[in-house]
């Protein structure tokens, strides 16, 4: 059985992989030359808070890398539900913040509603679901550990 099929399809981690990769590619986009934050009114909210591409992209890249590592480890060597849960909670917080940043121009200035609001909100909800599922996995691991004692 291929690692892809085991990790992605049969273990039900597809949303965790997806959200982790979205964070990673968002961070890569912020690291590319140019000023990404001035390209959209939703991103300008971050500029008004004094943040720049590096201050947003670096933690996103770190969280994405840790999440991807935890998912890889979980699927191949050792179960890591607590690491996955923490990563999903951070991801949900980041995506919620992005959704609110894209919503802010609509609320504050009456600008047209951006698709980023719903896109990032949906990612936040699925990361919340991933955190819940990781918690269920943690309980299962604890039960199995108690039986082997």
The pLDDT tens digits for 91-117 are 999 999 999 989 988 998 898 999 999
Q: What is the pLDDT of residue 146?
A: 59
Write down the pLDDT at residue 3. Answer: 61
| Two structure tokens written together for 33 | 């030359």
Q: What ranges do the domains of the chain cover?
A: 3-147
- Cα distances from 118 to residues 13, 31, 79, 103, 131, in angstroms, run 22, 24, 32, 9, 20
Residues with Cβ within 8 Å of 82's Cβ and at least 6 positions away in sequence, in order, are 134, 138
């Amino acid at each position: 059985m291929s690692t892809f099929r085991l990790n992605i399809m049969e273990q039900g981690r597809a949303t965790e992989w997806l959200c982790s990769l979205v964070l990673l590619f968002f961070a890569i986009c912020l690291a590319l030359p140019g000023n990404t934050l001035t390209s959209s009114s939703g991103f300008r909210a971050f500029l008004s808070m004094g943040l720049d591409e590096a201050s947003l992209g670096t933690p996103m890249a770190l969280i994405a890398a840790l999440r991807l590592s935890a998912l890889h480890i979980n699927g191949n060597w050792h179960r890591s539900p607590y690491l996955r849960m923490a990563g999903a909670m951070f991801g949900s917080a980041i995506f919620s913040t992005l959704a609110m940043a894209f919503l802010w121009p609509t609320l504050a200035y009456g600008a047209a509603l951006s698709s980023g609001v719903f896109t990032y909100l949906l990612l936040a909800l699925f990361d919340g679901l991933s955190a819940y599922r990781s918690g269920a996995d943690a309980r299962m691991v604890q039960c199995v550990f108690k039986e082997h004692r």
